[in-house]
Amino acid sequence: MIIGSHLSIAKGFYKAGQEALDIGANTFQFFTRNPRGGKAKDLDFSDINKLEDLMNENDFGKLLAHGPYTLNMASATEKTREFAKMCFREDLDRLNHIPCDLYNFHPGSHVGQGTDKGIELITDIINSSLREDHNTFVLLEAMSGKGTEIGRSFEELRTIIDEINLKDKVGVCIDTCHIYSAGYDIVNNLEGVLEEFDKTVGISRLMAIHLNDSKMPFNSNKDRHEKIGKGTIGLDAIVNFISNKHIRDLPIFLETPNELAGYKAEIDMLRQLVK
């Protein structure tokens, strides 16, 4: 099982890799820059090389980079869209130099302009930024559907992908908390949900998992992550989810409300329960 958690790279990539090992992980997720936006730090190549060695020595799976929350390609404000475009492009350029093959971001919120307009704005930016020489997969995160969030349904994700020119570079990251909140019943009908995903998006587009329990009820369109087994999804459904043949080989990332010790306990528990 390839499993890790979200970790800070404030003290460098190598430090994050060591922290991953400390908590029993063989991957991790990191923010490409301050999650609320801002300038990315200069790349430290000796630090990156040390991470690469550590990953090779310890059989790490794919790492996942997460774009900042303030990146909203579907904004009604030009300045916000320009910032999103700058971030997205710069993040992908930088990831070409980091041993990380997956870049996840929130598709965006249309802030009242409507889903169609929002999707048009998103795909305009992706198409003008994503280049053939980018070697990182771009993953659209499936969202809970709070407010005017785009990506609340498999159909919306499919519509975005349909409009992207370099489709071979695009995939999806399912967040268990989000899709349960968005009305996909992974507790009682996992097979049905995955079948629907396959029919709508294509299962081969599914490239990473955010594994979270939810504080909110099914279909509430609320985005509140909970510790594994302590929320409305529950431990049995989570174990069943990651044991599924379409999921078990994907890299899995915890974004549960935890410190390192809490992540370690969850990883230990899941490694025991999923054989």
CB of 65: closest distance to Fe ion in angstroms? Answer: 11
Q: Which residues bind Fe ion (CB under 5 A)?
A: 141, 175, 210
Q: Smallest distance from the beta carbon of 66 to Fe ion, in angstroms?
A: 6
* Interatomic CA distance for residues 97 and 166, integer angstroms: 20
| Tokens read off for 86 | 């700058």
71: DSSP letter? -
Report the distance separating Cα 115 and Cα 133, nearest Å.
30
Q: Are 4 and 29 in contact (CB under 8 A)?
A: yes
By C-beta, is 29 or 129 nearer to Zn ion? 29
Minimum gap (Å) between residue 175 Cβ and Zn ion: 6
Nearer to Fe ion, 141 or 156 (CB): 141
Nearer to Fe ion, 51 or 64 (CB): 64
Q: Which does 223 bind (CB under 5 to 8 A by kind): Fe ion, Zn ion, none?
A: Zn ion
Which one, 19 or 175, has the nearer CB to Fe ion? Answer: 175
Q: Least Å distance between CB 132 and Fe ion?
A: 26
Strands 206-211 and 252-254, how do they pair? Answer: parallel
Contact residues for Zn ion, defined by CB under 5 A: 223
Q: CB under 5 to 8 A by kind: which of Fe ion, Zn ion, none does 156 bind?
A: none
Dihedral angle over CA of 227, 233, 236, 238, nearest 10: -70
Nearest to 233 by CA among 252, 210, 206, 213: 213
**Partner that binds at residue 210, options Fe ion, Zn ion, none, CB closer than 5 to 8 Å by kind:** Fe ion
For residue 267, what is the DSSP state?
A: H
